[in-house]
Amino acid sequence: MLYITRKHLRPGMILARDITLYNLSNFNTLLLTKGQILNNTYIKRIAYHNIEGAYVESEAFADIDVEPYIDDKLTSDSLSQINDIYFEFRMSSGKITTNNIKKLSSIVDGLITELLDKDDLSYNVVDFKNYDTYTFQHCLNVAILSISTGISLKLSERQLHDLGMAGLLHDIGKMTIPVEILNKPGKLTDEEYEIMKTHPISAAELLKNYVSNDIIRAIEGHHEKLDGTGYPYGRKADNIHYYSKILAICDVYDALTSDRSYRTAAFPSEVIEYIMGCGDTHFDHEILSHFIKIIVAYPVGTFVKLSNDRLAVVVKNYTENIMRPIIRIINPDGTVGDDIDLLFDNDYMNITITDMGYDYENCGLSGVLKSIYEVSVGN
């Protein structure tokens, strides 16, 4: 299978995986099913819901199979529960209930069970962008990323539970921030930013009688930075809670790889480079080294552009170096070339991935898209 962004989807391509939409009205809408032949109507439907792309079948890449990171039902149930809790919070003038916390705790237990059972904790960001609402998606993603990082750090199940709860609740304090500030499309004024910076403190106050002190401290400090330039207290290094340091990395990663009203999403590889550049100034180096092990810079099945201007498709990732995967070369005429191991093949040590390869006209993309279409129509 290949991952094709919606801009390059063409009638005749065959879906290799279901497309599920998670939204406020129905948290598990099956939009299109595996095996469906795309037409212009279906492609417009994908675009209407701002779904970034789809996996399609391709004979030349039939050996590539990408499984969902989290079961669809668990994702749907989790988002539904998060929505209910935030809705109740608004309707009750900002009150948390014991029942709300129990529901969230059950979600976290389910996430931990599923993630501990996975052989491969390579987080594919592509699986987590078919949502209509940023807030609930972000809460769930940060919880999943935090738990996955915690597993890599060999934390206990109790620690993973507190970490997951902190991830789900880390932004609940934003419910006390005026909507016009939260959804402002442009840059916040100094006064607005000072108001925004109160949300970790508000969350700690709301939750103080309902969750453990570790969860409260984790949430309170998720915007702190090692060098003391974070907020709300400007704490440094050892004065920042360990869970906060995990949340900080996961929060920034998910935020920067998501479309917002004031900016478009960055590619995973770009965000990873940014986060790595902030190691030991903003982020804890040891935690960062484990976070990098679970993140995929270039998801399997996606196109990448190489430093020699060739196009390729990612076939396999390595946890020991996420920037040097195994790739399959695309020839300029759209035919498929050899697999190249960028990590271990000495003949290609000077070749690097320079970009995600979706907007290049003369390096094979047009040819391979045409070939996928022709094969699909032939079937």
d(CA 4, CA 10): 9
Three-state SS at 222 = coil
**Within this chain, do residues 150 and 186 fall inside the same structural domain, yes or no?**
yes
Kindly indicate the confidence band of residue 85, based on its pLDDT and cuts at 50, 70 and 90.
Answer: confident
Kindly indicate the confidence band of residue 26, based on its pLDDT and cuts at 50, 70 and 90.
Answer: low
Domain boundary residue, one of 245, 273, 294: 294
Comparing 312 with 50, the larger pLDDT belongs to: 312
d(CA 195, CA 237): 25
pLDDT score of 2 more than 90: yes
**Within this chain, do residues 52 and 149 fall inside the same structural domain, yes or no?**
no
**Within this chain, do residues 247 and 347 fall inside the same structural domain, yes or no?**
no
pLDDT score at 347 = 92
Determine contact, residues 143/164, Cβ cutoff 8 Å.
yes
Give residue-wise pLDDT tens across range 220-276: 999 999 999 999 999 999 999 999 999 999 999 999 988 776 677 888 889 999 999
**Within this chain, do residues 145 and 167 fall inside the same structural domain, yes or no?**
yes
Strand partners, 227: 236
Tokens of 288: 């960062």
Strand partners, 56: 2, 15
Give the mean pLDDT of 33-62.
91
- Give the pairing type, strands 311-316 and 326-330: antiparallel
CATH number at residue 148: 1.10.3210.10
**Within this chain, do residues 191 and 104 fall inside the same structural domain, yes or no?**
yes
Helices then strands, each counted (H, E), the chain: 13, 9
Give residue-wise pLDDT tens across range 104-156: 999 999 999 999 998 888 887 776 665 555 677 889 999 999 999 999 999 99
d(CA 96, CA 90): 10
pLDDT score of 375 more than 60: no
Domain boundary residue, one of 294, 317, 333: 294
**Within this chain, do residues 208 and 247 fall inside the same structural domain, yes or no?**
yes
Report how many domains make up the chain. Answer: 2
Domain boundary residue, one of 252, 272, 294: 294
Kindly indicate the confidence band of residue 370, based on its pLDDT and cuts at 50, 70 and 90.
Answer: confident
pLDDT score at 128 = 62
**Within this chain, do residues 260 and 187 fall inside the same structural domain, yes or no?**
yes
pLDDT score of 320 more than 60: yes
Residues 6+ apart with CB under 8 A from 127: 68, 69, 70
**Within this chain, do residues 118 and 257 fall inside the same structural domain, yes or no?**
yes
Residue where the block lists tokens 């809670």:
241
Query: For residue 99, which amino acid is it?
Result: N
Kindly indicate the confidence band of residue 379, based on its pLDDT and cuts at 50, 70 and 90.
Answer: very low
Comparing 88 with 115, the larger pLDDT belongs to: 115
The domain containing residue 25 runs over which residues? Answer: 2-66+299-378
Task: Measure the N-to-C terminal CA separation of the chain; round to a whole number of Å.
Answer: 16
Instruction: Calculate the alpha carbon distances from 141 to 12, 93, 113, 119, 153 in Å.
Output: 33, 26, 16, 19, 18
Give residue-wise pLDDT tens across range 198-230: 999 999 999 988 999 999 999 999 999 999 999
Kindly indicate the confidence band of residue 61, based on its pLDDT and cuts at 50, 70 and 90.
Answer: very high
Comparing 72 with 268, the larger pLDDT belongs to: 268
**Within this chain, do residues 286 and 306 fall inside the same structural domain, yes or no?**
no
**Within this chain, do residues 62 and 83 fall inside the same structural domain, yes or no?**
no
d(CA 293, CA 244): 19
Q: What is the DSSP string of 23-89?
A: -SS-S-EEEE-TTPBP-HHHHHHHHHTT--EEEE--GGGTT-----SS-HHHHHHHHHHHHHHHHHH
Kindly report whether the global pTM for this prediction surpasses the value 0.75. yes
Residue where the block lists tokens 């340091």:
245
**Within this chain, do residues 48 and 178 fall inside the same structural domain, yes or no?**
no
pLDDT score of 359 more than 80: no
**Within this chain, do residues 102 and 188 fall inside the same structural domain, yes or no?**
yes
CA atoms within 13 A on the CB side of 16: 23
Give the mean pLDDT of 267-290.
92
